[in-house]
Structure 1
Amino acid sequence: MTSSSAAVGDDRPAKLARVRELLADRDAPFLTLTAAENLAWLLDGARVQVPYGGPPVVRAVVDRDGGIRVDASANEVDRLAAEELGGLELHPVPWSVSLPDPAPGGLLDTDLVAELRAARAVLLPAERARYASLGAEVARAVGEVLRAARPGDTERRLAAELARAVVGIGAEPVVLLVAGESRLGWRHPLPTDAPLGRRAIAVVGARRTGLVVNLTRWIRFGSATPSARAGDAALLEVEADAFAATRPGRTLAEALADIRDAYPRHGFDPEEWTRHHQGGPTGYLGRDPKATPDAADVIRAGQAFAWNPSAPGAKVEDTVIVDDGIRVLTVDPGWPTTMVRGLARPIELEL
């Protein structure tokens, strides 16, 4: 195998060490990476897709010595070398044929989904720095768009402005949900031509350098009723219980069980948790994975999460990193907040 130097990204050696450990455990000579999340992780956040959700235009093979071979579509090689994968030797493959099939005798990433998810989970210093920058920029950009919204704007217009803002900071929109007053009953409201009316929700997922941040924000034209504010406050308590449940060493299933039990404790229907997924780990995928009652993945210090508890007309979501406590990445200093158990949490913006 022709291999290249690993000394490209600051955190590349640590990632290669994780791959080499996996290869040693399986007594395998090499691992072929084909999935976008694994390629972006290993290759320092390189943009490995052309359509946002399309198949990767590269394939990487890592051997037990830490060597990397990268095959790429020939029509992408020059751009990749100049803008994404400098320092790596790229092997062109004619655009008219598929990238080469994995060689026999090695491991394939699609057969090691859980193992590679665990390898990606603990964010390294360079990843954390990129993630923190992205989270802050997305939160500020979303805040600017929402502060300029008006009741007569359509959901699609607001979604378009959010997309413009995300692309404008060098990121890619991976989720854009908007609901105005007439459609707040939907948990996944794809935008329509309906006007925003007196109240609206915006849900944004944005990817840059391979990492995805997720956040949800609410706006209201006028003042909320005391009962609406009480419902929002109760849901923030559910979220606080979710953060408290997210402790290194526990499984996702254990954390989800605590979130399930938090709903009735704070005045919601005991079945509310079944009406929408509650989120889970994030990073190189929007949910990596969603937390489910049988999810055995172990929570790790240095892992990113995006919980999203919800109830009729209420939802809260931010991207955080779990260490000794919770560090929120998606913070807009200009957005209104309230303190919940020592952590500033976003509330509805009244315009």
Structure 2
Amino acid sequence: MARCLHAQEAPCMTAILTPASVVDLELPPEDRGSSGSDRRDDIDAKQQKVARLLAEVGCEGLMILDPANFTWLTSGAVARCILDPKEQPGLYFTPTQRWLLCSNVESQRMFDEELDGMGFLLKEWPWHWGREQLLSDLLINRNVACDEPLRDAKPLGDRLRPMRQALTRYEQACAAQLGEIVAHALEATCRSANPGDTERELAGQLSHRLHRRGASPAMLSVAADGRARDYRRHGFTSAPLEKYAVLTCTARKYGLHVTASRTFSFGPPDERLRKEHLTACKVAATLIASTWPDAGFKEMFNAAKRVYLLTGFEHEWQLCPQGWITGRLPVELPLLPDSTTLLQSGWLATWGPTVGGSACVDTFLVDEAGPQRLTPTDQWPLVSLRISGSEVLVPNILER
């Protein structure tokens, strides 16, 4: 049942609570090269989807060149250290078999560390020949579809993208583990920061914590002492931290992306920041409470706009996107004010309202049981808001 709820203008309270619940699934092994049955079953199920799609479009083979589709159909394999997009590995599917298309430079590592035991065969090109010759050979006397424009191949990129947006149970477990990594990296960096640290130093610490646990930063942002009021996409600079900072990051692991933010201050935040953050929390809570399958984003956005209006920040929504669907790409689907999009079970929704110098960003799984927070807090102050009778908890400002 679709739900679109409105934030009440009731007083809120702050409390230290245990981490929010995440998806209760068996987590994937750290070594993605292992032959875990859950991942193999996930890949086999996707092979069946490909077979049905090929029968529907009347093709005998499907070629995959888009890196996002590559990670999707391999359930998390990632090519590394490739600078030329024309050297990226690809995939080739028939209804019953699948191949890795790869140069001789990458093939050994791909099978040792990414695809061992996952049911893939190999079609390899010598690095000095280039990928083009192998792709041309695969098209000879074959009726082939491809996810990117490729000569006579039938284009299917627009068909595949929505298929990958709804995460499988295995992918949901991967996203939950990534969400915990992102939240821990943000909160640990906030707790260890010192006055005088530069934004660059905090970004470096955040990146280090992500890499230590196998995640790669796709976006890092640190805004100290109100710089976010001037630039909503602020990155990080050599500016030193004096009073407070907002940290935001998007990280990648298993070919998936998760985004979150946390805000901290040395001592109590000033009244201006406190009011801005409370408003961001109210907008976020309104969006979170409405994160159910078949909820329409247009209606959700209108409810969020009303919160901005009632709190005296009616124009803030125009300065930054309020949310998006994430997954194999950092932004799989932008959510715009006039969007007719209905949220679907299995999607990952990132809600990211910003108000002045503050932000309240977290990623959620759209689920039949209600929104599942994938970026849980750990002994972090929370704001408790009542949304049409239900309690929604969102991260508050950590006072140090």
TM-score higher than 0.5 = yes
The answer to whether 1:267 aligns with 2:297 is no
Number of the residue aligned with 1:48: 79
Secondary structure, counterpart of 1:217 in structure 2: strand
Secondary structure, counterpart of 1:11 in structure 2: helix
Instruction: Give the % identical residues.
Output: 31
- Contact 1:337–1:345 (Cα < 8 Å) also in 2: yes
Secondary structure, counterpart of 2:41 in structure 1: coil
Match among 305, 314, 335 for residue 291 of structure 1: 335
CA positional deviation for 1:80 = 0.7
CA positional deviation for 1:209 = 0.8
Number of the residue aligned with 1:93: 125
TM-score by length of 1: 0.89
- Contact 2:226–2:245 (Cα < 8 Å) also in 1: no
TM-aligned CA distance change 1:146 to 1:322, over 3 Å? same
Query: After the TM superposition, which of the residue ranges 160-169 and 67-76 deviates more from structure 2?
Result: 67-76
TM-aligned CA distance change 1:81 to 1:254, over 3 Å? same
Amino acid of the structure 2 residue aligned with 1:62: F
The answer to whether 1:143 aligns with 2:223 is no
TM-aligned CA distance change 1:235 to 1:142, over 3 Å? closer
Secondary structure, counterpart of 1:340 in structure 2: strand
Output one character per residue of 1:35-58: Cα deviation in whole Å (capped at 9) or x when no partner: 111110110201124259967731
CA positional deviation for 1:244 = 3.5
- Contact 1:245–1:259 (Cα < 8 Å) also in 2: no
Number of the residue aligned with 2:53: 22
Amino acid of the structure 1 residue aligned with 2:253: R
Partners of 1:176 and 1:22 in 2: CA distance: 38
Number of the residue aligned with 1:69: 99
Partners of 1:136 and 1:173 in 2: CA distance: 14
Partners of 1:9 and 1:345 in 2: CA distance: 36
Number of the residue aligned with 1:246: 291
Match among 30, 41, 51 for residue 10 of structure 1: 41
Compute the RMSD of aligned alpha carbons.
Answer: 2.3
Number of the residue aligned with 2:282: 237
- Contact 1:47–1:210 (Cα < 8 Å) also in 2: yes
Partners of 2:338 and 2:127 in 1: CA distance: 42
TM-aligned CA distance change 1:243 to 1:115, over 3 Å? farther
Query: After the TM superposition, which of the residue ranges 155-164 and 231-240 deviates more from structure 2?
Result: 231-240
TM-score by length of 2: 0.79
Secondary structure, counterpart of 2:250 in structure 1: strand
Kindly report which structure 2 residues correspond to 1:177-196, keeping only aligned pairs within 5 A, or say none.
177-181=221-225, 183-185=227-229, 186-196=231-241
Number of the residue aligned with 1:333: 378
In the alignment, structure 1 segments of 5+ residues that lack a partner are 1-6
Secondary structure, counterpart of 2:284 in structure 1: helix
Match among 114, 121, 142 for residue 84 of structure 1: 114
Output one character per residue of 1:20-79: Cα deviation in whole Å (capped at 9) or x when no partner: 33333323322211111111011020112425996773111222x242121111111111
TM-aligned CA distance change 1:200 to 1:175, over 3 Å? same
Partners of 1:161 and 1:52 in 2: CA distance: 26
- Contact 1:238–1:266 (Cα < 8 Å) also in 2: no
Aligned residues: 343
Amino acid of the structure 2 residue aligned with 1:322: V
In the alignment, structure 2 segments of 5+ residues that lack a partner are 1-36, 149-154
Partners of 2:320 and 2:249 in 1: CA distance: 17
CA positional deviation for 1:267 = 3.1
- Contact 1:41–1:284 (Cα < 8 Å) also in 2: yes
Structure having the higher Rg: 2
